[in-house]
Chains A and B, each alone.
Chain A
């Protein structure tokens, strides 16, 4: 970014540079589907969506727990389900050699997916 476009800043511009860097070289967070990597590319795509939904479910569940509308037994069952889902996701990520960062796609100006 042209220096004279920065109208006000008292600290360092490191964070801004880092963010611009992410926008211009977000190679790691791109889905690269080619004939040679169709399996792993598809796994990354599917697991990204599954992880997004899992996190949304988890967030909603925590809202309900925090709201106090669940009984102790329901919280216990919810904890068991969500924990098993989390462990299963870890297993799948390991199987396909993927990290949390791989599943957090950068959506450019919209920021990170998760």
Chain B
């Protein structure tokens, strides 16, 4: 029997509170949860057979549910699904080896939570607009166009060049939206992470880490941004445990 670690918690002097909470909760497949503690931090674990560790939707939801419930009461570092150790003794040693780094990360996320922002667009409409702009630019080049030979290869290059310029225009547009979001969120002291054009319709996939009590201000900020960019669709989700803002390599 192995032990799966759900998260590392900052419990300080609240071990009793944690134990009471764990008694009322269940892990994946109804497993009992318990804490392995070292001074002010605890690892929340459950016993599990390695063969039962299936990465399916049900287990993932149950796993996330445990972390979510814990995050409502404690500052925590979520662990990756399937983090197994063989005994409480080994978990204790791991906590000891990484104590300083865990504490540093816990301080970084203390009283904060994560929010996700996805910005979708009607990609066809946006591309049509950008294409129209691109064609207008080509019609009025800043420098004289070089003499263009008519060949099948040159035509192919011209076609690809047009697509390339369109992509560049799209990227420039996305960068300008990101700059606007970053500028607006600066007053909330949010830590931000952005991914551009992750799918055909998702032009921005952003994550924010900010203080829990700034949630309403964040919602208002996103509403203002939505009004500023009516052709984009802003979807804000949260609050989440700090899944994407913990940077630690466990020794």
Interface residues of A (CB under 8 A from B): 1, 5-13, 15-16, 18-19, 22, 24, 58-59, 62-63, 65-66, 72, 75-80, 82-83, 110-112
Total count of chain B residues near the partner, CB < 8 A: 40
CA distance A6 to B219 in the complex (A): 10
Contacts of A75 in B (CB 8 A): 154, 157
Contact of B214 with A by CB under 8 A? no
Q: Which residue of B lies closest to A106 (CB)?
A: B199
CA distance A78 to B226 in the complex (A): 43
With A13-B235, A19-B118, A82-B156 already in contact, the answer to whether A7 and B161 are too (CB < 8 A) is no
Residue from the set A8, A10, A80, A112 with the largest chain B CB neighbour count within 10 Å = A8
Q: Which residue of B lies closest to A79 (CB)?
A: B153
CA distance A10 to B233 in the complex (A): 7
CA distance A18 to B156 in the complex (A): 34
CA distance A76 to B2 in the complex (A): 63
CA distance A111 to B164 in the complex (A): 20
A12 CB to closest chain B CB, in angstroms?
Answer: 8
Contacts of B148 in A (CB 8 A): 72
CA distance A83 to B240 in the complex (A): 47
A10 touches B234 (CB 8 A): yes
With beta carbons under 8 angstroms apart, the residue of A7, A65, A110, A111 that contacts B237 is A7
Contacts of A80 in B (CB 8 A): 153
- CB-CB contacts below 8 Å: B158-217 with A: 160-161, 163-165, 168, 195, 197-199, 201-202, 205, 215
Contacts of A11 in B (CB 8 A): 120, 233, 235
A16 touches B57 (CB 8 A): no
Contacts of A77 in B (CB 8 A): 153
16 contacts between A and B (CB under 8 A): A1-B237, A7-B115, A7-B222, A7-B237, A8-B219, A11-B120, A15-B201, A24-B57, A58-B160, A62-B161, A63-B164, A75-B157, A76-B153, A79-B156, A82-B160, A112-B199
With beta carbons under 8 angstroms apart, the residue of B195, B198, B237 that contacts A6 is B237
Contacts of B223 in A (CB 8 A): 8
A42 CB to closest chain B CB, in angstroms?
Answer: 25
A83 touches B153 (CB 8 A): yes
CA distance A95 to B223 in the complex (A): 51
A76 touches B149 (CB 8 A): yes
A100 CB to closest chain B CB, in angstroms?
Answer: 12
Contact of B30 with A by CB under 8 A? no
CA distance A102 to B19 in the complex (A): 49
A79 touches B157 (CB 8 A): yes
Contact of B140 with A by CB under 8 A? no
Contacts of A22 in B (CB 8 A): 199
B57 CB to closest chain A CB, in angstroms?
Answer: 6
CA distance A65 to B240 in the complex (A): 45
Q: Which residue of B lies closest to A7 (CB)?
A: B236
B153 touches A18 (CB 8 A): no
A72 CB to closest chain B CB, in angstroms?
Answer: 6
B198 touches A111 (CB 8 A): yes
With beta carbons under 8 angstroms apart, the residue of B153, B154, B157, B219 that contacts A7 is B219
CA distance A63 to B171 in the complex (A): 14
- CB-CB contacts below 8 Å: B206-251 with A: 215, 218-219, 222-223, 226, 233-238, 240
With A8-B226, A9-B234 already in contact, the answer to whether A76 and B151 are too (CB < 8 A) is yes
Residue from the set B152, B205, B235 with the largest chain A CB neighbour count within 10 Å = B235
